[in-house]
Structure 1
Amino acid sequence: MKTTSLAGGGLLIGFNLFESCKPGVEPPVDLASLDYNDFNAFIKIADNGAVTIFSPNPEIGQGVKTAMPMIIAEELDVAWKDVYVLQAPLDTKNFTRQVAGGSQSIRHGWEPLRQTGATARQLLVNAAAARWGVDPRECTTKEGIISNAKGETLGYGDVVQEAAALEIPEDVALKSVKEFSIIGQEIPNVDLDEIVTGKPLFGLDYKKEGMVIACVLRPPAFGQKLVSVEESGARALPGVLDVIRFGDKVAVLAQDTWTAMKGKAALKAEWGNDEPLESTEDHDRILTDLLDGREFTTMRKDGNVEKAFAEADMVLERTYESPFLPHNCMEPMNFYADVTPERIHLVGPIQTPEGTAHQIAEVLGRDFSEISLEMTRQGGGFGRRLYGDFAVEAAEVSNLAKRPVKVVFTREDDMADGIYRPAIKYRIKASVRDGQITGYHLKEAAINSNMYGLIPNFFPAGALENYQVDVAKFDSKITTGAWRAPYTNFLAFAEQSFFDELFEQMGADKIQSRIDLLEKVKGTTDDRIQYSPGRMQEVIRMAAEKSGWGTPKEGVYQGFAAYYCHNSHVAEVADVVMENGEPVVKRVVCVVDCGIVINPSGARNQVEGGVIDGIGHALYGNFAFRDGRPQALNFNDYRLIRMNEIPRVESYFVQNEESPTGLGEPALPPAGAAMANAIFAATGKRLYNQPFVNALKDVKIPEKEIIG
């Protein structure tokens, strides 16, 4: 801190970032200058003991670039301070499942990554034992130091060259959970310095000599085709290098992004369509007709729901509706491509590098082996970057332009040319007889629905004798796909809100009733059931305890939800108060059973971010189409949750020794339901449609109060 007197009076207090650095801090090691030996595709160890670990999977903010190397470093038994982490490129020979999607990176990588680190550790031990002439079983390791029974020690760097030449051992021993010294510790994000100091890290940061920027004009409405385009206005702008038409798109190439954007705006295009263009009103009618119709695909049918309904004392039926949603990643879509006769060099933010590379090879008629793809850190993914359309565009434009190109989306491009969460309607019907739920029928009607997956086998499957799930879809020209926690992001709200209302009408305890239903699933031999009833019961009980369920402070109303998805069990309690006659979410308690928690700080980030994302989109997320055109193109038209509207989120993890499961998505689905059930407790109003703001009118938090 420095203070300076101003000439006109007063005091200026300044902060010098560089002078504030801790004294004696050494500059980062120049990794390229070290003499490395490769142990495998993941690990390089230098003769000075420095360890570089490559993180194979795309980093979209879910923390795998930190967590995956932590798993390797744990079994390698190296001090974390000696570890440097680098993003690995696409490498189909040495890596498997280089994908960021479905919250599966850690789950799938857990055992292979442990084996990778343990194998390298055993090689180092074997090399040290050979030098000492002792049995490797007499040696131990700790933080990169190998010791023998005589008290002699060698560092990993001392034996790295001999170790790298040894035969790969088989059946290496893995640590017990009690021996972990890195896993379970609070480890800062390995990219933290680059993020906060603005060093090049993201796709938009990437630059290459000779690279030009391309902004692409695409059809303004889904279902339209390009008839003609007048290019003269764009070509006349200083700095515009070329205008290239490909398919129904037109790319404007320039030396900088702003000029490319201006050039695209100067294009005059004529568009046509062969069929009527779709509107949100059309979708609403179509989905209702699907629910009322008989053209369903039955995904699961246990017992006879119709018989259960006919014999019931009470039948409850409700319909729940959700709109399309864009992904709205902080970093708009972008990708670099340099297509030459010899090779195709690709760089950028992508969740599916291998699939995208194959897609580009097919489009360009090239061999997959000619493609090299490097991944940058991604400013959000949420499923949008599972689809490599923007990367394919970059490759197509580069191929036609015969020069390296980076395609850059504007925010308007990002929202108008998205891969959206599909609009969905659910109709749920349940029967009660003699105080027990006897039947349950779930109908889904969705736009372009092709991701039914395991949803028919989630709770309450297995808990009810008469249970049926039917699905129907409408094929639309509007592009849809995965959106954070696909399908469950809305289904959890519908089902958990329905159960809350059902238990209310039954006069049953909302916590105990869920526990009782789960008890019926225990001991099942039905291998279709994906969730664990016991683990779900545990998170329910823990959430009730941590939130003070049933004994809130005066003026606080609580809502509960529990859900299983992405192999993890989650329970949440939302606290709502009334302010100025409107319900306000103040606190959410979230309990997660995701098995062993690799990095608690990263885990909390995922849980809290998921809860906030779930609450924000349930409250405000709305995206409509009129004649095929999106009705919101930027954040002045599309409402997101604001910082002073964010509740306090308390996250807790069940401590066990189960293998890790998903964490990037499971906290989002129950959040909307917990909030809706709390709003009912506060107002007596049931919510059936998202966004909730349409039903609640103005939901607001006074600006004077910011909740941390």
Structure 2
Amino acid sequence: MTIQKTNRRNFLKLAAAAGGGLWLGFNWSSTDATPIKIATNAEATSSALIDFNGYLSISPDGVITIFSPNPEVGQNIKTTFPMIVADELDADWAKVKVLQAPLDSTKFERQVTGGSGAIPHSWERLRKAGATARHMLVEAASKKLNASVSELTTDKSFVIHAGSGRKLSYGELASEAMNVPVPTEVKLKDRKDFKLIGKLIPNVDNHEMITGKPLYGLDFYREGMLFAMIQRPTAFGMKIKTADLTAIKAMPGIVDVVTFKNNVAIVGKSTWQVMKARKKLKVDYEPEGKLESTEDHNRIFKELLESKDAAVKRKDGDVDAAFSKAAKVITREYQCPFLPHNTMEPMNFFAHVREDGVELIGPTQTPDLARTETAKLLGIPPEKVTVNMTRLGGGFGRRLKADYATEAAELSSIIKAPVKVIWTREDDMMGGYYRPAVRYRFSAALDDKGNMIGYKLRGAGINAGNSTREDNFPAGAVDNLLIESIEHQSPITSCPWRAPITNFLAYAEQSFLDEVAGEAKQDPVQFRLNLLQKAKQSPVGAMKYDVDRMIGVTKLAAEKANWGKKNDVFQGFSVYFSHRSYVAQVAEVAMVQGKPVLKKIFAAADCGIVVNLSGSYQQVRGGIIDGLGHAMFGNLTFNAGAVQQNNFNNYRLIKFKEVPEIEVDFVDNGIDPTGLGEPALPPTGGAVANALFKATGKRIYEQPFIKQEGMGDVNISRNL
């Protein structure tokens, strides 16, 4: 049993406003880590009584409630958080419910969805919350049953005295527990005693999602609010020259037409009326800067890769000497395009700017950023801005930005009315934020025995920031290593895209390592294991990855796929560490009527303790499908600053029938949970590309794969 210390600053009791009951607040910040229903006054009564960061409640009827502070974007946090508390509490899961908390930076430390960090940050705090409540309930039962604590056990929201057969429900004990001192130390369960953690638990919002109940920002409606769509510049680097607003102002249902900054907003009484008016809008634009095209980016990449201005991110040993004495040098380049996020739910946000404050409601991964940016825009204190979060219909990093929330606030301040701004799919794809375009140059130096004695990587990005991860594998496994990064600033906006940077870096690196293994005449899996063994025995410099965990997933994936022992398929391997977790994959390609067909992907994941097996399977499979689809098809191009693909009729996404069989296994090592929302995506492209090489003899150096000669015939239909 693990003993965890706490104190009264972490745990505060207070009487429930109605009918007694135990309300236990717990401090998240000490851990490193309907129309839309916003909590009613009755449900939120306790939060008005004390200053805390989150709470667990047990009402007299036995219902257990948790306010979930993190935005729910599909990563299943709204189910997983209460599971952790309920398990330590020994609660009856059927009586557990969770509500989305509003933004409150005094009560919550990390109200962010990003970086696959929610569970790693909150794991211990959630367990302590449940364990503390359980302790207090048992103490209350001890007095009521006149039995010692050691004689009592808990199960499914009951405290049980086995000797007499008596038991008391948590609801019956809740008021009595108010008189029990809050413990300074609590015992957490042994892992073997978990009852919910590690099981297949359905998403708590499943019923609402399946039956079409309002959950998302686009569902939000308030009587009297207006609807708006905004015409933004048609190309990056353009500004409004003239705008003829006369014709649309008189159209049915149109309340106002507003020009602000570089935008024209059409405001009306319904979405349909606003959409019709927008089609009649006439705006002329003129350049205000460089209008870049994809051809410009290709030229820029070549210049960046040859530039002497690259920033050195890491240098180990004498790289020049290693390459000068090498028996063989392999150099390859890999390139990826900009990509849109293409969330199922386009951007939207509700704002009501009043004299006494601002109300924001909508889907955001960073509610505090929406608040601070709105306060800055309007020149008011942040505490005058409230933010309530709806469920997000996808985020993938796009909703880390606050632009769509602040434009709603700005428009509301201009028209003096509550308004919901809605983006169309075309708005999202043509004027949003994108995954940065990147080109990598890798070089490896081999000695005459096939050992990699030197390694170089230069990342050239367009609005990518540092396009490398200099302390990830194979850093630490090569004596002489140089990693550099250089960037071009473009008017084309970018932001994190699921598994930022690593989403393409992993593909490029793992494809390159496979090619190096081939030149060294070594099996690709064994080549990586040899490097990892070197990093374990004689590490060079800093390493952010755990060698043993990386070896573990490598061996597990190879074992599950029966690596190298099949004659009917061609196998490709990839392994990557990101967001604290490790995923290895084996892709299998068969030649059918002379064409390569992707048949199956095996995945081995090490994310520590798997909290919700259902959600975890979905995160791994979803990440693989996302990585596969974008590696195969995703391509956003520009002509004079204008996006050339504006909807799904000309932007290729993976189709349901194209999803191959996916087999997922988890490493069972018992360590605290690490991230899982993103780590399964990065290895996918490399595994598939390496399998395609085995099948066709052709290496792939660009995404999307179908763009490369000879890869248009790849079939990833599971129906074959």
Aligned to 1:661, the other structure's residue is in SS state coil
Mean Cα displacement is larger for which, 134-143 or 422-431? 134-143
2:512 pairs with 1:498: yes
Corresponding position of 2:392: 378
2:636 pairs with 1:613: no
Contact in 1 for aligned 2:587/2:687 (Cα 8 Å): yes
Contact in 2 for aligned 1:558/1:575 (Cα 8 Å): yes
Residues 173-322 of structure 1 aligned to structure 2 (within 5 Å):
173-322=187-336
State the Cα distance separating 1:132 from its structure 2 match. 4.5
Corresponding position of 2:598: 585
2:419 pairs with 1:397: no
State the Cα distance separating 1:505 from its structure 2 match. 1.2
State the Cα distance separating 1:139 from its structure 2 match. 3.5
C-alpha separation in 1, matches of 2:716 and 2:83 = 42
Cα deviation, 1:187-234, whole Å, max 9, x if unaligned, reads 001110011100011111111111111100111111112233111121
State the Cα distance separating 1:530 from its structure 2 match. 1.3
State the Cα distance separating 1:328 from its structure 2 match. 0.4
C-alpha separation in 2, matches of 1:490 and 1:259 = 42
Query: Which of 514, 530, 543 is residue 528 of structure 2 equivalent to?
Result: 514
Contact in 2 for aligned 1:576/1:678 (Cα 8 Å): yes
C-alpha separation in 2, matches of 1:465 and 1:451 = 23
Corresponding position of 1:572: 585
2:560 pairs with 1:546: yes
Aligned to 2:272, the other structure's residue is in SS state helix
State the Cα distance separating 1:478 from its structure 2 match. 0.7
Relative to 1, partners in 2 of residues 1:139 and 1:524: Cα closer, same or farther, differing over 3 Å? farther
Aligned to 1:318, the other structure's residue is in SS state strand
Corresponding position of 2:26: none
State the Cα distance separating 1:663 from its structure 2 match. 0.7
State the one-letter code of the partner of 2:634. Answer: G
Contact in 2 for aligned 1:36/1:45 (Cα 8 Å): no
2:61 pairs with 1:48: yes
Corresponding position of 1:90: 103
C-alpha separation in 2, matches of 1:349 and 1:451 = 28
Relative to 1, partners in 2 of residues 1:74 and 1:372: Cα closer, same or farther, differing over 3 Å? same
Mean Cα displacement is larger for which, 174-183 or 125-134? 125-134
C-alpha separation in 1, matches of 2:457 and 2:64 = 53
TM score, norm. by length of structure 1:
0.92
2:702 pairs with 1:689: yes
Contact in 2 for aligned 1:566/1:661 (Cα 8 Å): yes
State the one-letter code of the partner of 2:696. Answer: T
TM score, norm. by length of structure 2:
0.91
State the one-letter code of the partner of 1:146. Answer: V
Aligned to 1:457, the other structure's residue is in SS state coil
Aligned to 2:188, the other structure's residue is in SS state coil
C-alpha separation in 1, matches of 2:381 and 2:273 = 34
Aligned to 1:520, the other structure's residue is in SS state helix
Corresponding position of 1:108: 121
Query: Which of 429, 434, 440 is residue 455 of structure 2 equivalent to?
Result: 440
Corresponding position of 1:487: 501
State the Cα distance separating 1:168 from its structure 2 match. 3.0
Aligned to 1:456, the other structure's residue is in SS state coil
Mean Cα displacement is larger for which, 677-686 or 250-259? 250-259
C-alpha separation in 1, matches of 2:282 and 2:579 = 46
Contact in 2 for aligned 1:584/1:701 (Cα 8 Å): yes
Corresponding position of 1:8: none
Contact in 2 for aligned 1:37/1:45 (Cα 8 Å): no
RMSD between superposed Cα atoms in Å: 2.0
State the one-letter code of the partner of 2:220. Answer: Y
Residues 329-408 of structure 1 aligned to structure 2 (within 5 Å):
329-408=343-422
C-alpha separation in 2, matches of 1:648 and 1:44 = 43
State the one-letter code of the partner of 1:75. Answer: E
State the Cα distance separating 1:114 from its structure 2 match. 1.1
Contact in 2 for aligned 1:36/1:46 (Cα 8 Å): no
2:67 pairs with 1:60: no
C-alpha separation in 2, matches of 1:331 and 1:289 = 38
Cα deviation, 1:531-550, whole Å, max 9, x if unaligned, reads 11111111111111111211
Corresponding position of 1:647: 660
Corresponding position of 2:28: none
Relative to 1, partners in 2 of residues 1:181 and 1:338: Cα closer, same or farther, differing over 3 Å? same
2:644 pairs with 1:631: yes
Cα deviation, 1:358-391, whole Å, max 9, x if unaligned, reads 1111111111111221111111111111111111
State the one-letter code of the partner of 1:470. Answer: E
Contact in 1 for aligned 2:79/2:204 (Cα 8 Å): yes
C-alpha separation in 2, matches of 1:702 and 1:683 = 15
State the one-letter code of the partner of 1:389. Answer: D
State the Cα distance separating 1:661 from its structure 2 match. 0.7
Aligned to 2:185, the other structure's residue is in SS state coil
Relative to 1, partners in 2 of residues 1:93 and 1:526: Cα closer, same or farther, differing over 3 Å? farther
Query: Which of 172, 183, 194 is residue 186 of structure 2 equivalent to?
Result: 172
Corresponding position of 2:686: 673
Aligned to 2:126, the other structure's residue is in SS state helix
Contact in 2 for aligned 1:645/1:700 (Cα 8 Å): no
Cα deviation, 1:569-608, whole Å, max 9, x if unaligned, reads 1110001112343222110000000000011111111101
Number of equivalent positions: 675
C-alpha separation in 2, matches of 1:602 and 1:684 = 37
State the Cα distance separating 1:644 from its structure 2 match. 1.7
State the Cα distance separating 1:706 from its structure 2 match. 2.5
Aligned to 1:241, the other structure's residue is in SS state strand
Corresponding position of 1:449: 464
C-alpha separation in 1, matches of 2:550 and 2:44 = 50
Relative to 1, partners in 2 of residues 1:479 and 1:162: Cα closer, same or farther, differing over 3 Å? same
C-alpha separation in 2, matches of 1:202 and 1:414 = 17
Aligned to 1:69, the other structure's residue is in SS state helix
Q: Which runs of 5+ in 2 are unaligned?
A: 1-38
Corresponding position of 1:20: none
State the Cα distance separating 1:520 from its structure 2 match. 1.3
Aligned to 2:535, the other structure's residue is in SS state coil
Cα deviation, 1:393-417, whole Å, max 9, x if unaligned, reads 1111111111111110001001011
C-alpha separation in 2, matches of 1:90 and 1:31 = 15
Query: Which of 62, 65, 71 is residue 84 of structure 2 equivalent to?
Result: 71
Contact in 2 for aligned 1:35/1:46 (Cα 8 Å): no
C-alpha separation in 2, matches of 1:429 and 1:244 = 54
Contact in 2 for aligned 1:146/1:154 (Cα 8 Å): yes
2:430 pairs with 1:416: yes
Relative to 1, partners in 2 of residues 1:621 and 1:49: Cα closer, same or farther, differing over 3 Å? same
C-alpha separation in 1, matches of 2:452 and 2:621 = 34
State the Cα distance separating 1:526 from its structure 2 match. 6.8
State the Cα distance separating 1:87 from its structure 2 match. 1.3
Q: Which runs of 5+ in 1 are unaligned?
A: 1-29
Contact in 2 for aligned 1:624/1:632 (Cα 8 Å): yes
C-alpha separation in 2, matches of 1:164 and 1:297 = 59
Identity %: 47
